[in-house]
Amino acid sequence: MKGIGALITTFGVGELSALNAVAGSYAEYVPVVHIVGSPSTTAQRKKLLLHHTLGDGDYKAFTNIYKQVTVAQANLHDLTIATTEIDRVLRTCWLKSRPVYIELPSDMVTKDVPARGLSTPLDISFPTNDASLETGVAEEILSRLYGAEKPVLLLDGCVIRHHLKAEATEFVTKTGLPIFTTPMGKGTIDETLPTFAGLYAGSGSHDNVRELVESSDMVLSLGLMESDFNTMSFTYKLPTRNAVDLHTEHVTVEGKVFDLHMHGLLQRLSSLVDASKLAGKPHSEQVFDVHRAASASLPEASYPDSTITHAYLWRQLSKWLRPNDVLCTEIGSSYLGVWDTQFPANTFAISQTLWGSIGYTLPAAQGVALAARELGRPGRVMLFEGDGSSQLTAQAIGTMLKLNLDIIIFLINNDGYTVERWVHGMEEPYNDVPAWRYSQLPETMGARLGAGGNARAMQVRTRAEIEALWETHEFQNVKGRGMQFVEVFMPKLDAPVPLKMFCTRAEKNNSK
């Protein structure tokens, strides 16, 4: 939300509990500064047998672990280099857009260091490209674009993760070409732009989208990250002729690799492009049509019209969202469901596509809501979370309440791990979870319910009920109203079509 985050833990027990979360930030290119409070330099030098150690006097064991999931590490045990070390890791954190690790021994906390470093702004500018190479490659790319009959643009996750949203937006809007996003790229571009043409996810795309992308004679991609979730299990069929892929630190033009940073190259492309030379086709008008021929072989149940199904919920959500809303969707039903939701302008989207750690999104939404309040961001922060995944990190509800955060939580109760049922063991007990009474969670975790309180807790079972809820003033004006906690009952085996497609493929791949 703010571009960079921070996390403080104790050493050993604290930092290892946070390792999954930090590894997720590493995989997903999220810049996080992890500060670890460790025993005093004296205790470490004497190799004291302290609690929270492995008992072997090795005070490097945890740093060694963190080297696997951070791009820079510093131990502030030396006053003479402490401030330059801090600058070094902060700069690396930002430029690589990945977590870094700073160890702070307890006796160093109150030590004085020279303040002079503070008068020099931290240099976090992206590296400059070789100007003639940059211009040459930009002209080569533009010349191919000018020559193509049906060029399209594809925006993926690394654009937003590497802080290049503004540069990308300038270029793609200047061209006027049809714009597609991948699942991980959702939220990168304004989906109400007339040139926005839909979400491409290989065989998980809507038919008209897939046709437009795969029949194009030139796909120019930005920040592509072809992971299994993002590509519906590697079902992309992008034309290789004229393929141009701008990555963060290099670009490929029909197979040839050039050492150019996307930041400078995008700016160069924007300044050089002549939109009148482009033959962009208008996009289909049905970009959020849900027909997917590839899903025809999947089992499908029918439910009464009043039932809140995935086919209903995620398309309906398009009508409820407003500009500036922040949408946190847990990996699983919610993340794959939202492929069929059209985002208003300036929708901020949080999901963990690659790392996919269930339970991530609930505490992530806590951080998002706190940041939104601090930033004074207009719009609502809302979370869609499953019952199974909520049980991994439910504590965050207590912290949200303690901080009086404004947040709308939809906890989808579909009686266990529906994703895992679709992968393997539809009726197996290992996909069941303890039968929590979810709507009691806010009160149990400290909510003050009722007038003047900091939370409401509700259950909805029908479309009429959830639609009525959206009309309430608490949903329309969330600021200062605290938590709106909604337990949404959905059928146990219902799932968004892309989820069914993905899981069915995943089961096959697991046995190969």
Contact residues for a copy of itself, defined by CB under 8 A = 12-13, 16-17, 19-20, 23-24, 26-27, 39-40, 42-43, 48-55, 61-62, 64-65, 68-69, 106-107, 110, 225-229, 234, 331, 353-358, 391-392, 394-395, 398-399, 401-402, 433-437, 440-441, 443-446, 509-512
Q: How far is the CB of 420 from a copy of itself (least distance, A)?
A: 10
**Going by DSSP bridges, is the β-strand pair 407-413/483-489 parallel, antiparallel, or unpaired?**
parallel
- φ, ψ for residue 245 (rounded to 5)? -120, 115
Q: How far is the CB of 31 from a copy of itself (least distance, A)?
A: 15
Question: CB of 378 within 8 A of CB of 324?
Answer: yes
Q: How far is the CB of 441 from a copy of itself (least distance, A)?
A: 6
For 195-253, the DSSP string reads TEEEE-BTBTS-HHHHHHHHT-SEEEEES----TTTTTTT------TT-EEE-SS-EEE
Q: How far is the CB of 119 from a copy of itself (least distance, A)?
A: 30
Q: Which two tokens stand for residue 175?
A: 């061209």
Q: How far is the CB of 455 from a copy of itself (least distance, A)?
A: 12
In terms of CB distance, is 191 or 387 closer to a copy of itself?
Answer: 387
In terms of CB distance, is 62 or 314 closer to a copy of itself?
Answer: 62
Q: CA 374, 380, 384, 390 torsion: positive or negative?
A: positive
In terms of CB distance, is 17 or 476 closer to a copy of itself?
Answer: 17
Q: How far is the CB of 107 from a copy of itself (least distance, A)?
A: 6
Identify the burial level of 136 via C-beta atoms within 10 angstroms of its C-beta, where 0-12 means exposed, 13-18 middle and 19 or more buried.
middle
In terms of CB distance, is 155 or 400 closer to a copy of itself?
Answer: 400
Identify the burial level of 326 via C-beta atoms within 10 angstroms of its C-beta, where 0-12 means exposed, 13-18 middle and 19 or more buried.
buried
Question: CB of 288 within 8 A of CB of 317?
Answer: no
SS3 73: strand
Q: How far is the CB of 23 from a copy of itself (least distance, A)?
A: 5
Q: Which two tokens stand for residue 474?
A: 């608490």
In terms of CB distance, is 108 or 142 closer to a copy of itself?
Answer: 108
- φ, ψ for residue 411 (rounded to 5)? -100, 110
Q: How far is the CB of 478 from a copy of itself (least distance, A)?
A: 21
- What are the strands of the beta sheet with 32-38, ordered from one edge? 5-10, 32-38, 100-105, 73-75
Q: Which helix (H) or strand (E) holds 410?
A: strand 407-413
In terms of CB distance, is 53 or 175 closer to a copy of itself?
Answer: 53
In terms of CB distance, is 307 or 391 closer to a copy of itself?
Answer: 391
In terms of CB distance, is 50 or 493 closer to a copy of itself?
Answer: 50
